[in-house]
Amino acid sequence: MTKDLTYADIVLKHLGFDVESIPTAGEERADWLVKHDLFAMLVEEKTKIDDPNVLALRREVLDRGELYPYHVPIKPDNGMARITHKAVKQITSTAPHVSHDFRIVWFTSAGRNHEAKRMQYIATLYGSTNIFQLGQSRLKQCYFFFFC
């Protein structure tokens, strides 16, 4: 069974990598073995897309001529953490069966709020947040803030 083309698959092929789909054998495994002349890597892509229910509600509200306020909080998110843990398990379960040099979890955010989702993922991975100092007019990105 071949996997559908995804953003990571298309980009990696465009960059000249040899991308082989990894058979699942009834288990959750990494998506691809990606090879180059000098190395091989396991890649598991996780994609965060818009919730279809939210999109339907948004369309309904906008069709009535009303405003639809929506925001994505830029802070660590348990759902994003679960996605990452699952990706790690998939790569770890694949590693003993496939010769490789390193492993990559590829996160793709898509949809109307893709940039906010990307920032939320970074906040989840690195515990980042924006902080301010009294007397300063700019926010400063702080990493590992939530891991203290």
Per-residue pLDDT tens digits for 77-98: 898 999 999 999 999 999 999 9
Residue 31 contacts residue 54 (beta carbons within 8 Å): no
pLDDT, position 127: 86
User: What is the model's pTM?
Assistant: 0.79
* pLDDT for res 25: 74
pLDDT tens by residue, 12-65: 999 999 999 998 878 899 999 999 999 999 999 999 888 899 999 999 999 999
Q: What per-residue confidence (pLDDT) applies to 2?
A: 46
For the chain, the three-class secondary structure string (H helix, E strand, C coil) is CCCCCCHHHHHHHHCCCEEEECCCCCCCCCCEEEECCCCEEEEEEEEECCCHHHHHHHHHHHHCCCCCCCCCCCCCCHHHHHHHHHHHHHHHHHHHHCCCCEEEEEEEECCCCHHHHHHHHHHHHHCCEEECCCCCCCCEEECCHHHC
Mean pLDDT score of the chain, rounded to an integer? Answer: 89
Domain chopping of the chain, boundaries: 7-147
Confidence tier at 147 by pLDDT (50, 70, 90) = low
Task: Answer whether 46's CB lies under 8 Å from 79's CB.
Answer: no
Chain segment 95-140, per-residue pLDDT in tens: 999 999 999 999 999 888 899 899 899 889 988 888 888 888 898 8
146, pLDDT greater than 80: no
